[in-house]
Amino acid sequence: MDALSFYEKQIYSQNGEDGMIEELFSRIGTTNQIFVEFGVSVGLECLTRNLLVQHGWSGLMIEADPQHFQQLTVNVGHILRATLHHERVSRENIASIFRAHHIPTSFDFLSIDIDGNDYWVWQALAEWKPRVVVIEYNAAFPPPQKMVVVYDPNFSWDGTTHFGASLTSLAGLGMQLGYALIGTDTRGVNAFFIRRDLLAASGFEEQTPEQAYHPPSYGPVEGGHPRRIGPHLEI
């Protein structure tokens, strides 16, 4: 059985996620071709630009940083299929943002990368069931370690290993929400989940965190970020 990471291809994504996303949807097909991504920065290197520019999808791109959002409007604002939203995402406001932009309960693709409260925001979206979810994981905590940063709506990443959640913790949350873990990119950045009713159609096998895990290969300290253990939960 092929590993999802075999299909890595970088078009606009930071790593090889573009190819993995294309392969996955070539297998399961699309429904409404709607995406939502938060943490898009300036919109040039993110997981939904390829879907927007090359595949004709439409969707919502959310960015918190004022300067990044201003540049996002320059880079993407002319594409009418893209809706841009400037706000810091939290577990308190994410549902209202989705409702304000009329995001359907079932849509094709969700990408979560906010360098902090990713776990908590995905948990707060239980009402929505996107077909595929890609979420950043903290590869500094290899399986079977469980680690989720203590929730703080004002969390700001300090460039260390204190961010987000471990792959094991995210896999557990995914299971609660009805998703199967099917792989990660080889640099140890993003985890891929598919809605469980689509697992057979995808042709990919559900993986344990141990099977899916790739160690960090993106930073200066043992492949990752400088080590810091901050307040966290083992869930």
Residue owning tokens 């987000």? 164
Residues in a beta bridge with 109: 35, 132
Q: Is the pTM of this model over 0.85?
A: yes
Is the pLDDT at 13 greater than 90? The verdict is yes
Q: What is the pLDDT of residue 222?
A: 81
In tens, the pLDDT along 29-73 reads 999 999 999 999 999 999 999 999 999 999 999 999 999 999 999
pLDDT score, position 43 = 97
Tens-place pLDDT, residues 142-161: 999 999 999 999 999 999 99
Domains, the chain: 4-233 (3.40.50.150)
pLDDT of residue 221: 84
Q: How far apart are CA 97 and CA 69, in angstroms?
A: 16
Contact predicate 150/96, CB 8 Å: no
Tell me if 182 sits within 8 A of 202, measured CB to CB. yes
Q: Which residues of 147-167 are buried (b: 16+ CB within 10 A; e: fewer)?
A: bbbebeeebeeeebbbbbbbb
Beta strand pairing status for 190-195 and 109-112?
A: unpaired
Q: What is the pLDDT of residue 223?
A: 86
Q: What is the pLDDT of residue 70?
A: 98
Name the band, by pLDDT with cuts 50, 70 and 90, for residue 1. Answer: low
pLDDT in tens, 159-214: 999 999 999 999 999 999 999 999 999 999 999 999 999 999 999 999 999 999 99
Q: What is the pLDDT of residues 85-122, one digit of tens each?
A: 999 999 999 999 999 999 999 999 999 999 999 999 99
194: closest CA among 208, 185, 205?
A: 205
Strand partners, 61: 37, 84
Q: How many angstroms separate the CA atoms of 19 and 23, rounded?
A: 6
Range name among 63-67, 90-94, 131-135, 220-224 with the lowest pLDDT average: 220-224
